[in-house]
Amino acid sequence: MPEELAQFGKQAPARVRVDMPFDFSPNPELVWKLSCVSRTGPRPAANLKDLNLEQSMQPFDGIRVLDLTHVLAGPFATYQLAVLGADVIKVENPSDPDMAREWGPEPALNGKRMGTAFLTQGGNKRAIALDLATDKGREVLLKLVEDADVLVENYRPGALEKLGLGHEVLARVNPRLIHVSMSAFGQEGPRGEMTAYDYVIQASSGLMAMTGTKEVNPIKFGPAAVDYATGTTGAFAISAALFQRIRTGKGQRVDLAMMDVAMVLMSLDLTALTRAGVEPEPSGNLTVQATCNAYPTKDGLVMLGASNMKQYRRLWQALDRPDMIRDSYAARQEVFDEEVALLTDLMLTRTAREWEDFLQSRHVPAARVRRMPEAFSDPQFETRNVFAEIDDAETGTLTVPLNAFKLAHGGGRLDRAPPRVGQESEEILREMGYDESEIPAILNACR
């Protein structure tokens, strides 16, 4: 064994690329072959074949995820893993599948249980139909758990326990399982058994109360921000638990609450409240800095973002008003109203696009307020890897987001269209070792 490999367990590697089986146990020989980039520097790939393998390998290749979630937050968390290589198996009750399947602007797709709310985060997943209220359904699920790395569910707290599928049972079947429970308020506490959706959490957390204008409030966010923030947090929590398992060899229980995520989204305002007693109030398009507000122009709104002192100075110099420049943030606050009045008048002298072009060319953050169709068609996205197309014979072509980041190699991609309810049931049962004669009985028991 090479000397560097002998040192592998003595120092924490900066990055390890391992082709891991489902039990996620590192194979030292493969670690060496596929390159261990340690503090001593990278080892060159042995040959072109190894290099190509490294370039195409995705972060979650070899990781199996059981997805028992529905609606938006849970499915989005597992989708983030799926587009990065995880084998995600969506487990649904055939008579009561994911309700998001029937959501979207096209009634025809909704009727097929392939609504756009499901298609958005259904790609790269396989589907098996199991009725967990039946003995056979529970038997199959527990057998799936044996070889799974992660199980994600957003059942109401206590519901899986009543089915005989609580965490203690799952952990006995597979002690290395990462079990993620996503709920509205958490698994315990006075609100533990309560249920909620994104907009209910917005109301309960205080998000709605601080959103809107002084005249019109509270107002719900436009997009399902709490759902998608919870999904993103879930993907991060799973990644953290998998990384921890490499070091400890132990599984993990992740208790993720939408309410907690909403509070973290308000971190800035929450700290101001707990430290200074300042309660956040709805302020519309105004911020605490006059040079970071939205202002009317000849044809629409432009949002200024001259936040730091350099940008602030460049703004007033570009507007030929160097007399407005102050030397500190505190001094800027003293002339807030004066700055607002002046900028309100100045911004009316040009169109929003003219101001955006003018200010951006001078390194002052600014943007006209655009609607989604215009934003989506921005040529900037041609340089990113944030969108992918689904092309399916039944549902047609659909463009959906992938990940909100790029990787130099092995990044997000969409290889499989979203599945119908139970589309791969037979395929998965065969992989599990069920005999051809057993499969029909299992499918009938779970109808």
pTM: 0.86
Contact 124, 161 (CB under 8 A): no
Positive or negative, the CA dihedral 299, 304, 310, 312 is: positive
pLDDT value of residue 316: 98
The CATH number of the domain covering residues in 64-265+403-445: 3.40.50.10540
Nearest to 57, CA basis, from 19, 13, 89, 14: 19
pLDDT value of residue 441: 87
What stretch(es) of the chain map to CATH 3.30.1540.10? Answer: 290-369
What stretch(es) of the chain map to CATH 3.40.50.10540? Answer: 64-265+403-445
pLDDT value of residue 115: 95
Does residue 29 surpass a pLDDT of 50?
A: no
DSSP letter for each residue of 11-33: S--SEE-----TT----HHHHHH
CA 231 from centroid of its chain's CA atoms: 4
Token pair, residue 400, equals 């959906």
Contact 300, 369 (CB under 8 A): yes
C-alpha 362/C-alpha 311 separation (Å) is 9
Pairing of strands 125-129, 87-92: parallel
CATH topology (fold) of 290-369: formyl-coa transferase, domain 3 (3.30.1540)
C-alpha 302/C-alpha 366 separation (Å) is 7
> By CB neighbour count within 10 A (0-12 exposed, 13-18 middle, 19+ buried), where does 23 fall?
middle
Does residue 440 surpass a pLDDT of 60?
A: yes
pLDDT value of residue 34: 35
- pLDDT band at residue 387 under the 50/70/90 scheme: very high
Positive or negative, the CA dihedral 167, 168, 169, 171 is: positive
Does residue 40 surpass a pLDDT of 50?
A: no
